[in-house]
Amino acid sequence: MISVNIEHKQQEFNSAMKRYEQDKAYFYFNKFISIAIIGLQAILIICVARSVISCNAHLVILLMAYVLADFINGLIHMYMDNNDHYNWIGGPLVANFHLHHKKILYDKKPLAIVYFNETGSKVWMLPTLLLVVVLAWMHLISPALVAFFMYFGIFSSIAEVSHYICHMLNSPWAKLLGDLHILLPKRHHGKHHSADNKNYAFLNGMTDPLLNIIASKYFLGYKKNTDLHFSTYEISKISEINNQERR
């Protein structure tokens, strides 16, 4: 028997999705976030190109940003998968996020479009990169730190492409990059969908051992929680169109 709390959350979820479907502002908000973040990434690329940083330093910075991007994006994924706050202005975005567990396949898109569309879900990255750009313009942070956040921002968007490739592509190059753990391996990520509260990282999954420890300590998991909230929801044509534009 479904608990009263689950029934209440299902009603909240359905109400939030109705708002998402009826208010185009959410769709345009995601587009704005994509444009703004990619614009900031471009500005950081220009800043770094004008800086004097050795090749060895670039390599170290790149590797550090790669690892942190896997961890931070996984950590935010963990929070969002367990987020059940639907009754606020951002609630429809939270509810729509949960649908990636209901419909795990994307609509096929060129990888550049995936990069653009999925960057729109990274609201947290906009203030982060904006702050870095402002500090760089004021010469308050080192060129090395600017380079770090440039790589971090780009890898955070690439993580979404890696997730798309993991779910949608079976080409030899996609399999090779997954097998080498440069991108997200299918078998590794499969545990996120088959198990519960596991393997949240999605750039290449290298930080999942640490993320799994954090998840087990602070969250109960999604299978018996937020995944139940969308169980009575049927994806409408409007929602399909909006998510096709994004996914």
pLDDT tens by residue, 145-168? 999 999 999 999 999 999 999 999
Q: What tens digit of pLDDT does each residue of 56-70 get?
A: 999 999 999 999 999
Q: Any idea what the Cα angle at residue 17 is, between residues 197 and 194, rounded to 5°?
A: 25
Q: What tens digit of pLDDT does each residue of 178-210 get?
A: 999 999 999 999 999 999 999 999 999 999 999
> What 3-state class would DSSP assign to 200?
coil
R_g (Cα) of the chain, nearest Å: 19
Looking at the chain, list the stretches that DSSP marks H as alpha helix, in order from N- to C-terminal side: 4-22, 25-49, 55-81, 91-102, 111-119, 125-137, 143-168, 172-179, 186-194, 208-218, 226-229, 237-246
Domain count, the chain: 1
Exposed / middle / buried, residue 211 (Cβ in 10 Å: 0-12, 13-18, 19+): buried
Mean pLDDT of 110-118: 98
Taking alpha carbons only, the member of 44, 52, 25, 28 closest to residue 156 is 44
pTM of the model: 0.92
Q: Is residue 204 a contact partner of residue 184, using CB atoms and an 8 Å limit? A: yes
126 lies in which domain range? 4-246
Q: Is the pLDDT of residue 28 over 70?
A: yes
Taking alpha carbons only, the member of 70, 83, 79, 82 closest to residue 210 is 70
Mean pLDDT of 23-33: 97
